[in-house]
Structure 1
Amino acid sequence: MKRITCQAAVQLLLALILHLNLSAQKTGTIQGKVVTSDEQKAAFVNVFIPGTTYGTTTNNDGIFTLRGVPAGQQEISFSLIGLETKTVKLDVNENQLTDAGTIVLTEKLSVLEEAVVVANRLNQFAAKSTEYVAGIPLKNIDNPQSYSSITGALMEEQMVTDLTDAMKSITGGGGYVKSNEGNISVYLRGFRSDAYVKDGMLSFVRVPVDPQNVERMEIIKGPSAVMYGSANNNVSSYGGVLNRVSKKPMEHKSMELSYSTGSWELNRLTADINSPLDSAGKALFRVNGAYHSENSFKDAGMQRDYLFAPSLTYQFNDKLKISLLTEFFHTKRTLTFANGVANTVTAKTWNDLAWDYDKSYWSNAMAGEMSSKTVTGFVEYQISPRIKSTTGLSTAEIDVEANFLRLYFTSDTTVQPWVLQYMPRTAGSIHAKQEFSGDFDLGKLNNKFLAGASYVRVYDRYQRNTGTWIRYDVVDMTTGTSPTYSPDAHQQLADAAGITATRTSYDTYSAYLSDAISFNDYVTFLGGIRYDRNSLDNTFTNGVEGTNGYDLNAFSYKAGLVISPVKDQVSVFGNYMNGYNLVSPGADNTGEQIDWDPEYAKQWEVGTKIDLFEKKLMSTISYYHINIENQVITSNGEQFQNGTNTTSKGVEVELIANPIPGLNFVSGYTHNKAYYDETPEYRMTYSPENLFNFWGSYRVMKGDLKGLGCGLGLNYASETFVNTTNTFGSEAYTVADATVFYDLPKIRFSLKVDNLSDKQYYNPYGQAQKPRNFKIGITYQL
């Protein structure tokens, strides 16, 4: 039956593609760039054919591509509030790319009087145009799913030198931490999600990520299995997906060099160089690099990082384009694991323990080394003006030789260091996908679709101590003493404990379809389905193959409706979608081995989005409800399914505004209630109930002080618990950051102070956060 269903689906897809090719009208594509009169890139400019539905907007670099334009002479208009509207005539040829060149828009001084209209007057924090959420190009206002974006402009203002710092500005998170490997973990809507997606492709990189090659971070909220598969390894969690969008080559020459210094011997040097490789602009090259050196405010702690990220694109013709994106990273640093507490601890929070905030209980001599390499390639082919083929292949791999410290508190005044050793660890992923996307009209209906198939392989090979942890002697924290570490002595302990070599892997074969139907300018329906065949291999332990492998099939879906009472400005939306996780076979209460069904999470969400005054005011307000079903519960050594269910529900409010030229801010509030249905009085672990984030900045736009600016940030998180009985966790905290910057035509000076009140606080993993610290930076642009 499944074979017949799949065959019918393939035949239907092929018939649809054939129909589209036969019925497509004679059209072409227009591409160009828009700048302001002072040669600044003009983002968010409306590009459209008057009197028709053909239109688009420029991206952050002022680039636009308008596809499916009827062949013949066309009038193309360019408009943005504060700039003079301009119309040009272009001859569009069938199945060809028409170059509109560079369009220069002048400022409307009669309206803005003395205001200087340049790119910086636009909403610097609004980047809501993406195809990674639904797989098809939908404006945020027409998308029934919630998502947030942390833009490059925001990260630049905040002087982000660690990707964890960028997470301060997300709405809908449930707290953010550095994962045990130094990567990013965010608790979205009560569930952990890790930053393992890069440019829409799986990139299983369980090591730190340097922010230098990040164009923006996208936070896609809610179960997103249709586009990103299972929640295994926290890739596509029930709360959402973190997608890291990397910097891509651009059509113009540019160079940016930056140096930062600051507290605890911070020294950071970055470079971003972009250049066309030929006069026709078909071959584009860009390289990003970084060196980062920093010590800790504690008595021990260090990191030394290196990043090299070259990328290349080549446009063979108006139909064929290839892209190659690479990233190579190496770090040497001290590493810590999530801390733990014994039942004998009577303290209620990390702050109540008798430990020294400035003491690490660790040693720089135990620093470990990690490296990662990611290579991603895309081949884009415009089959017809209405249909596009995209082929993607991504490989990612890490190598780790490191020791991780976990502090286990045996009482309020004593702690036992536990050390986990990976010597070595090699892990990674391979992701290949083939997608066909289309955009066509059926009468008054507009239909955008994506049909794809993908293959994913994830593997992990590691050696670590038998029994996992090397346990050192208990330390009395009231005496001020610290444990003594020696790499040689520790290796002797590790050898005595023995080494266990483990090898795991799994494969996933997928087919998926996403489709958006716009019935008119006011109503859009988005639907999607996905089928996954997950095949988990037997685990090898010290070369001996186990019998724990299994196959599991899963179906995912999504459905959403958007109604816009005011076109392109106000919409109300609702969605219903699911996600799933893999469940290993186990024995039921009779001892029989059972192949459990997948665990499923189902979400419904309703809300409203606004996009007013040419993107000067944007907001998303939503209420969501997530329920997990088919959980496998272990009790008294027995397992059973359909046990205790989990519920997560809450409200999210995001506001992005540019009320006057030069003033930008982004703010968000989250209220989340996540609990097990049998014990609703207790919150789920690591997820605070209330979160608030704010960042605002002002830049002088005219006069002698033009380019001078300042910014202020606030973050609040309510208490967070680390156990299911809610007896221990992290205290609520409020922290403030501030910055001052001065932009000259080619040079930028920056000063940033984090944690202005010098507050001592801990994240949910029990990791002490940085006290008051500063950074000074200088950037040269050409």
Structure 2
Amino acid sequence: AVFGTLMLGIFASAQEVITDDPQPEEQVAVVQPAATQPPMVPVLPETEVEATRPAGAPDASPYDPEVDGSMFGSPMVRGYRAGSSTAGTIIDVPDLDLPATVNVVPRELLNDQQALNFTDAIRNAPGVFSAGDSLLRDRIYIRGLEVGSRDFRKDGFLDPTFVPRDFQNIERVEILKGPASMLYGAVSPSGLVNLVTKKPLNAQFSDLGFTFGAYQQQRYTLDTNGYASADGNTLYRINLAQEDMNSFRDFGFTSRTLVAPGITWKLNDCSTLTWLGEYHRDHRRGDLGVPAVNGDPLALPSDRFVGEPLHDRLATQEFRQTLLLNTEINDEWALRIGGHSLFYEFPGSTTAAAFDLGGGNFARSRSNILKENEQSHSLIANLAGDTWWGPFRHRSLVGMEYTYYDSDSTFGFGSVPPINVFNPVYTNPPIIPGGSADFPVFRQRRVGGYLQDLVDITPHWKLLGSVRFDSCDFEFDKVLNFGFPLPSTQDQVFNRVSPRAGVVYLPWEEEIMSLYFNYSESFAPPGGGIYINPTPLKPVTGVTYEGGMKTNLLEDLTLQVAGFHVTRENADLNSSAFFLVQVGEERSQGAEVSLMGQLTERWSGVANYTYVDTLLTDPLNPAFDGNRQRNVPFNSANFWTRYNLVQDDCVTFGAAVGLVYLGERPANLTNTLDLPGYSRWDMGVYYNRGSMYANLYVENIFDVKYAASSINEFQIFPGAPVNARAQVGWIY
């Protein structure tokens, strides 16, 4: 009912902006470029689009599939480098004009690395590390602070899901560093992730792909786009994916299905209406890693499973839909109104090591998520302008956002008999009940209004100011049961003003370098979910200072350097799968440098390095006071480069090599165990001939044994040994 109301409002708005009948457009005949990468054509419908090609390949019959060129969309990314983004300002702003850091991982880079999930994608952004496991797979760290997968955005809308995201319908990943509360409300002070989806284009093409590889992997994909009406004013796009595979982990498996259709109506020369749907099913083994043995996090084989294969599994599914109205009011002003709904369920069961009994025997805990049904509905309206007031250029934004979130969950927890991790025997024993928790009501309503203005004071100086007011109220009914019920009810209201201010200095009139500084604040009210904390959580607040330099070394090669200092009050951290602790203050400071783009017509690359120093301060909790954040090393680096050995109108043949380095880092919040540092080398080989393509990606080519991440000393997640996957496809 909520989404239906939103949709009626948007359709009503659409009728208001249609002032004349839409004229049929001439249908564009598409000639696919020779040596096209899989799927390189797809880009945002509101973007300026050209036919794409492998890095540096010559243009071949370019076409223009642009549907809506409003200021809310970014131009198409060619190669590995994005010259602008929307995550930091909602409107498209060139990177050199923005006093903040936005790392963009474009589709071409995702293709070259055959990225299938979020962990695959974030390697390309400095200071971003995976914290995920099979239960909360998309959790990450940005600049040393944890960012939950429920805080992500999709096409600018809040996307609070635990379901691991599939990348078949993702066009690009935008990672905004620093607080974004002045635009998006409740977010972490370290950053925000916005996933931009593929949308219908003014073109006709289909991309059929098949991926096969280690652990019996089979993945079938289809990306098809075309015209749904004879006049060319109705466009469609459908993305499909079906994947089944086992795992390097004993008894591990993944089975997932994605169906993502989209339709765009050209209402007139100035307005478009786009509907996007997405159904996603993800079933996999519930795997909470392995314990350290005698202080060694790598003591056990990487494939060792300490749960129960007949019991532990996650069976999740989600459905979301979005409706977007874009209209150009005139040459200076544009309007976007959108509605978004998400429904998902997350039932599952896991068994994990709990503490060491000696001799390789570990006590185990079990958690059963009997019910986890959640829904989220959002409405966003943005009015943007690009105007001159006297001698000053103003790129302005005014907007509002309403979000309704509802959760209903029940789970039980207890223990099962111990297991010997050196000689495991799986008997699927019944649970010894320890308690249960029922959350029949968690409802949250957020309303926010925001203003932003980027002002060109002189050709050398630019000022950015943003402010947002948020009002958040929620009701929370909880019943903890430890043999007797302990009901509680919470009703809370929070109001907050979040500002941001930044300055940009361009030393030369030719925009090839900029220096910047910004100050911003963040605010996040307590969230819902399956957590058994006995007391109410406090709002999380934060402050960030950042300064840096950006320069275009070459036309398509950008260097970025940034230093940052971030503090977060009342940080909520998972001490176990279902229990949160709040730390008085969390501080992260450091520096990062990144290089991304194209060195020559045939040579593209990404390189970055990050130094992060984290500190937890909480005199009331001496177990954490003075410690470092888990999973965050002082030093980390990433390198990936591709060179096309052959590149002409018919054939492209290239090779790539990459390195992922993470230094030593704490395995738990108490800092009693460290995960050793590691260096992992990967490689890729690419061959395109006409409309056919074939790629090979090999991960961990030297078969290094390493720990990827952890929750604590009993839940450590091994990295995969050497493995490969190949992809073949046909674009027609």
| Paired AA for residue 420 in structure 2 | D
Q: 2:673 aligns with which of 728, 739, 743?
A: 728
Q: Which position in structure 2 is the counterpart of 1:580?
A: 523
| Cα 1:35–1:764 shift into 2, 3 Å | same
| 1:294 aligned onto 2:241 | no
State the shift of 1:512 in Å.
0.8
Q: 2:275 aligns with which of 324, 331, 335?
A: 324
| Paired AA for residue 455 in structure 2 | I
Q: Is the 8 A contact 1:128 1:148 kept in 2?
A: no
State the shift of 1:724 in Å.
3.8
Q: Which position in structure 1 is the counterpart of 2:4?
A: none
Q: Is the 8 A contact 2:34 2:650 kept in 1?
A: no
State the shift of 1:297 in Å.
1.7
Q: Which position in structure 2 is the counterpart of 1:655?
A: 595
State the shift of 1:440 in Å.
0.6
| 1:535 aligned onto 2:476 | no
Q: 1:402 aligns with which of 338, 348, 354?
A: 348
Could you say what secondary structure the match of 2:708 adopts? coil
Q: Which position in structure 2 is the counterpart of 1:590?
A: none
Q: 1:258 aligns with which of 193, 198, 209?
A: 209
Q: Which position in structure 1 is the counterpart of 2:20?
A: none
Q: Distance in 1 between matches of 2:398 and 2:81?
A: 29
Q: Is the 8 A contact 2:660 2:679 kept in 1?
A: yes
State the shift of 1:576 in Å.
0.5
Q: Is the 8 A contact 2:309 2:428 kept in 1?
A: no
State the shift of 1:147 in Å.
1.2
CA RMSD of aligned residues (A): 3.5
Q: Is the 8 A contact 1:737 1:755 kept in 2?
A: yes
Number of aligned positions between the proteins: 653
Moved more, 317-326 or 700-709: 700-709
Q: Distance in 1 between matches of 2:583 and 2:410?
A: 35
Q: Is the 8 A contact 2:379 2:403 kept in 1?
A: yes
| 1:229 aligned onto 2:185 | yes
Q: Which position in structure 1 is the counterpart of 2:661?
A: 716
| 1:203 aligned onto 2:143 | no
Structure 2 residues without counterparts, runs of 5 or longer: 1-24, 38-45, 63-67, 528-534, 574-581, 619-623, 711-715
Q: Which position in structure 2 is the counterpart of 1:429?
A: 376
Q: Which position in structure 2 is the counterpart of 1:181?
A: 135
Q: Is the 8 A contact 1:665 1:695 kept in 2?
A: yes
* TM-superposition CA deviations, 1:3-30 (whole Å, max 9, x none): xxxxxxxxxxxxxxxxxxxxxxxxxxx9
Q: Distance in 2 between matches of 1:35 and 1:604?
A: 48
With the length of structure 1 as denominator, give the TM-score of the two structures: 0.77
Q: Is the 8 A contact 1:34 1:58 kept in 2?
A: no
State the shift of 1:190 in Å.
1.2
| 1:780 aligned onto 2:726 | no
Q: Which position in structure 2 is the counterpart of 1:193?
A: 147
Q: Which position in structure 2 is the counterpart of 1:130?
A: 85
| Cα 1:40–1:402 shift into 2, 3 Å | same
Could you say what secondary structure the match of 2:121 adopts? helix
Q: 1:162 aligns with which of 102, 105, 117?
A: 117
* TM-superposition CA deviations, 1:278-314 (whole Å, max 9, x none): 2433211100010100101232111111110001111
Could you say what secondary structure the match of 1:350 adopts? coil
Q: Distance in 1 between matches of 2:109 and 2:570?
A: 41
| Cα 1:200–1:32 shift into 2, 3 Å | farther
Q: Is the 8 A contact 1:356 1:477 kept in 2?
A: no
| Cα 1:125–1:524 shift into 2, 3 Å | same
| Cα 1:281–1:183 shift into 2, 3 Å | farther
Q: 2:386 aligns with which of 439, 442, 446?
A: 439
Q: Distance in 2 between matches of 1:774 and 1:281?
A: 42
Q: Distance in 1 between matches of 2:203 and 2:106?
A: 21
State the shift of 1:436 in Å.
1.0
With the length of structure 2 as denominator, give the TM-score of the two structures: 0.82
Q: Which position in structure 2 is the counterpart of 1:685?
A: 630
Q: 1:350 aligns with which of 275, 293, 297?
A: 297
Greater relative contact order structure (CA < 8 Å, 6+ sep): 2
Q: Distance in 2 between matches of 1:34 and 1:452?
A: 38
| Cα 1:34–1:283 shift into 2, 3 Å | closer
State the shift of 1:752 in Å.
1.4
Q: Is the 8 A contact 2:380 2:401 kept in 1?
A: yes
State the shift of 1:540 in Å.
4.2
Q: Which position in structure 2 is the counterpart of 1:214?
A: 170
| Cα 1:647–1:271 shift into 2, 3 Å | same
Could you say what secondary structure the match of 1:178 adopts? coil
Q: Which position in structure 1 is the counterpart of 2:14?
A: none
Q: Is the 8 A contact 1:611 1:619 kept in 2?
A: yes
| 1:371 aligned onto 2:317 | yes
Q: 2:416 aligns with which of 468, 472, 476?
A: 472
| 1:553 aligned onto 2:498 | no
Q: Is the 8 A contact 1:357 1:768 kept in 2?
A: yes
Q: Is the 8 A contact 1:31 1:98 kept in 2?
A: no
Q: Distance in 1 between matches of 2:641 and 2:627?
A: 35
| Cα 1:205–1:529 shift into 2, 3 Å | same
Could you say what secondary structure the match of 1:141 adopts? helix
Q: Distance in 2 between matches of 1:386 and 1:300?
A: 58
Percent identity over paired residues: 22
Could you say what secondary structure the match of 2:310 adopts? helix
State the shift of 1:753 in Å.
1.0
| Cα 1:780–1:510 shift into 2, 3 Å | same
Q: 2:127 aligns with which of 172, 185, 188?
A: 172
Could you say what secondary structure the match of 1:165 adopts? helix
Q: Which position in structure 1 is the counterpart of 2:13?
A: none
Q: Is the 8 A contact 1:503 1:541 kept in 2?
A: no
* TM-superposition CA deviations, 1:249-275 (whole Å, max 9, x none): 111001001101111111110100000
Q: Is the 8 A contact 1:573 1:606 kept in 2?
A: yes
Larger-gyration structure (1/2): 1
| 1:144 aligned onto 2:81 | no
Q: Distance in 2 between matches of 1:289 and 1:756?
A: 30
Could you say what secondary structure the match of 1:204 adopts? coil
Q: Is the 8 A contact 1:536 1:550 kept in 2?
A: yes
Q: Distance in 2 between matches of 1:318 and 1:251?
A: 14
